[in-house]
């Protein structure tokens, strides 16, 4: 859990939460950070769920919280690098929730939005590559990995994945 989220959960992270309460951790105007953190918590709960119904419910809660962050009025007009980074992170984790929920077309769209917001973030390309490789679409996997390496040429995770195509 990121420090900014632990700071909002003193009951779960009592010792370090107080020292993490630092307004500099959050971009100006980013008042819905607790919804981002709640989305992460629901993702973790989904991972620990033992039945499909509760897992599905936790994933829907995660997606709803991430959608709340992305739809917040204070973020719509924001163009700072820090806010764009938070949006990319939010979209990445929303894509993760969609992947786990089996909503592949929405998942792909979210990962692609991450690459638009933060082109040098290799994790989105890696997840897309893994998806395409798993579904047998080696051509699309190759396109994604090349696009990722164009923006993050020294990424070890992307270079390892490219080697899988040989």
| Residue ranges for the chain with pLDDT beneath 50 | 13-14, 16-17, 20
Q: At what angle do helices 138-151 and 104-117 cross, to 10 degrees?
A: 20
Distance between CA 156 and CA 142 in Å, rounded? Answer: 16
Q: According to the model, what pLDDT value does residue 105 have?
A: 97
Please, what's the b/e burial string for 77-103 (b: 16 or more CB within 10 A of its CB; e: otherwise)? ebeeeebbebbbbbbbbbbbbbbbbeb
pLDDT tens digits, residue range 90-134? Answer: 999 999 999 999 999 999 999 999 999 999 999 999 999 999 999
Average pLDDT score over the chain: 85
How much is the pTM?
0.84
Q: Tell me which H or E stretch contains 70.
A: helix 52-71
């Amino acid at each position: 859990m990121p420090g900014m989220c632990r700071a909002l959960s003193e009951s779960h992270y009592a010792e370090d939460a107080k020292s993490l309460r630092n307004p500099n951790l959050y971009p100006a105007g980013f008042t819905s950070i607790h919804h981002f953190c709640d989305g992460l918590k629901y993702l973790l709960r989904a991972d620990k769920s033992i039945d499909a119904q509760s897992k599905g419910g936790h994933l829907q809660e995660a997606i709803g919280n991430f959608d709340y962050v992305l739809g917040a009025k204070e973020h719509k007009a924001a163009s700072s690098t820090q806010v764009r980074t938070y949006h990319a992170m939010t979209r990445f984790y929303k894509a993760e929730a969609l992947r786990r929920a089996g909503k592949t077309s929405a998942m792909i769209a979210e990962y692609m939005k991450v690459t638009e917001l933060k082109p040098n973030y290799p994790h989105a390309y890696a997840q897309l590559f893994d998806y395409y490789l798993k579904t047998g679409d080696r051509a699309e996997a190759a396109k994604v990995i090349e696009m990722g390496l164009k923006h993050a040429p020294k990424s070890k995770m992307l270079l390892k994945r490219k080697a899988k195509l040989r």
